[in-house]
Amino acid sequence: MDKRFEAVDKRFEAVDKHFEAISAENNRRFESMSAENNRRFEALAKRIDRLMLWSLGITMGTGSLVVAALKLLP
């Protein structure tokens, strides 16, 4: 009976080690994905910042042209 319990304990230990190995592998994968996602997010934030500056510049330029045209026409 003790041999069976020892065999079951060894099997549980083997399964436990297997799950720990899988967990470590998943953690490594998620860390690399997290670093890549951070890099992508920074690039996206930079693009949005540039878009906002261009939009503000175009809006201000168009507004000043409209104001100048309204002052000159009447």
Q: Taking the mean position of all CA atoms in its chain, how far away is CA 44? A: 10
Q: Taking the mean position of all CA atoms in its chain, how far away is CA 32? A: 11
- Residue, of 3 and 42, whose pLDDT is higher: 42
Its pTM stands at: 0.54
Q: Which pLDDT value is given to residue 57?
A: 98
Where are the domains positioned within the chain? 1-73
HEC per residue, 5-50? HHHHHHHHHHHHHHHHHHHHHHHHHHHHHHHHHHHHHHHHHHHHHH
pLDDT digits (tens, 9 = 90+) for 21-52: 999 888 888 888 888 899 999 999 999 999 99
Exposed/middle/buried for residue 50 (C-beta within 10 Å: 0-12, 13-18, 19+):
exposed
Confidence band of 6 (pLDDT split at 50, 70, 90): confident
Residue 44, token pair as written in the block: 């996206």
